[in-house]
Amino acid sequence: MPSSRTRVAAVAAAAALAGGGAGAGAVALSHGTTVKTVTTEQPAGAAPVADTTLTVGQIAKASTAGVVEVDATSTGSSSSPFPWGRPSQGESSAMGTGFVYDGAGHIVTNEHVVDGASTVSVKLSDGSTYKATVVGTDPSTDIAVLKIDAPASKLHPLTLGDSGKVQVGDGVVAIGNPFGLDSTVTSGIVSAVDREITAPDQSPIEGVIQTDAAINHGNSGGPLFDLKGDVIGVTAQIESNSGGNDGVGFAIPSNTVRSIADQLVSSGKAQHALLGVGVRTGANGVVVADVQSGSAADAAGLTAGDVIVEVDGRSVTTAARLRALVDSHAPGDKLTLTVHRSGDTKTLTATLGSR
């Protein structure tokens, strides 16, 4: 039974939860916000650039067709460390959410939804169900990619946004299948960024988005949208005293999802980028404590005592932020590092290795 202590819980639902509507409360959403179009000033003769904010209803209408239900059946025990996973013995099933990644039928969900599954099926928004193949999983980021053989006309891929641009206070929308309630839409804001949660293999997942949008068991693997309708995260965990939504949910950032999903689609395996430095958060940036010999950092010319202040032009003020930026890349990618060294500013290029 769940402990009464506050803890982070995976939000995949066991089959027993899917049929019990008594514990699920109805959530009323307001869709009355008008569309706001802001035109930024441009130089004379330049075409205006519009920044369009959509309503919750518009996002739901445009995106629900790309959200799927994932059902995983397991025989025997599961290695999932999350308290709301499948029972430990016998045949059981778990339900989660996923979304269409591309027109080839690839589906993105959480690794803990399909962990140990012997069979997996995907139900599209129109009710049609397809047997799914697990293309690859990555327990270090809790991301899995499935594949279904569905007609192109039934596949509605969603667009991944840039999670690096997400800010506290931004509006967000979650779509998923909590407690088996298909295509449930909730909304809220970004409560915090750059959080850290623990992956199924106990690795830290950096750069996580915290939201107060209601997510519950069954939302695992579902998309978290910004108000442009782009996916900025994959809902994965909640922190709760009660075992239900207490307004603290976590989504794996889309930049991490993109990097891992592309690798899984390509090869069925995910490699993780390595810079090769030991770091700590300093007063004005990230201080390099040590550099691994032969690493990407070593080849780039980083030395102990350097202070990293930017990565690819983005400000870096904490060690967690640096790790998140590295984790959002694949081995072989190049990073431009801006560092302060003995009163000088230097620009270094590092070609990331693999861990």
- In tens, the pLDDT along 253-277 reads 999 999 999 999 999 999 888 999 9
Q: Is 222 exposed, middle or buried (0-12, 13-18, 19+ CB in 10 A)?
A: buried
Determine the pLDDT at residue 122: 97
- Whether the CB-CB separation of 263 and 330 falls below 8 Å is answered with yes
Confidence tier at 90 by pLDDT (50, 70, 90) = low
Which SS3 state, helix, strand or coil, does residue 50 take?
A: strand
Say whether pLDDT at 49 is over 90. no
Say whether pLDDT at 163 is over 50. yes
How would DSSP label each residue in 200-224? TTS-EEEEEEEE-S---TT-TT-EE
Phi, psi of 354 (to 5 degrees): -125, 140
273-354 is classed CATH 2.30.42.10 = yes
Cite the residue boundaries of each domain of the chain with CATH code 2.30.42.10: 273-354
Active site positions, annotated:
112, 142, 220
Determine the pLDDT at residue 50: 53
Confidence tier at 232 by pLDDT (50, 70, 90) = very high
Q: Is 323 exposed, middle or buried (0-12, 13-18, 19+ CB in 10 A)?
A: buried
What ranges in the chain are assigned the alpha helix state H? Answer: 15-18, 56-63, 111-114, 254-267, 296-300, 319-327
Give the list of residues 6+ apart from residue 75 with CB closer than 8 angstroms, or none: 90, 91, 118
Say whether pLDDT at 45 is over 70. no
Fold of 64-154: Thrombin, subunit H (2.40.10)
What is Dmax (Cα atoms) for the chain?
70
Phi, psi of 270 (to 5 degrees): -120, 130
Cite the residue boundaries of each domain of the chain with CATH code 2.40.10.10: 7-15+50-58+159-266, 64-154
- What's the rounded Cα separation, in Å, for the pair 124 and 136? 20
Give the list of residues 6+ apart from residue 8 with CB closer than 8 angstroms, or none: 197, 198, 237, 238, 239, 250
- What's the rounded Cα separation, in Å, for the pair 80 and 65? 29
- What's the rounded Cα separation, in Å, for the pair 131 and 244? 30
Determine the pLDDT at residue 40: 37
Say whether pLDDT at 292 is over 50. yes
Higher pLDDT, residue 194 or 124: 124
Fold of 7-15+50-58+159-266: Thrombin, subunit H (2.40.10)
Confidence tier at 190 by pLDDT (50, 70, 90) = very high
Paired tokens of 43: 């130089």
Which whole number is the average pLDDT over 207-212? 95
Residues 98-147 have pLDDT tens digits of 999 999 999 999 999 999 999 999 999 999 999 999 999 999 999 999 99
- Average pLDDT in the chain: 83
Paired tokens of 10: 């995976």
Residues 65-74 have pLDDT tens digits of 999 999 999 8
Listed range (7-21, 94-108, 291-305) with the worst mean pLDDT: 7-21
Which range has highest mean pLDDT (78-92, 118-132, 232-246)? 118-132
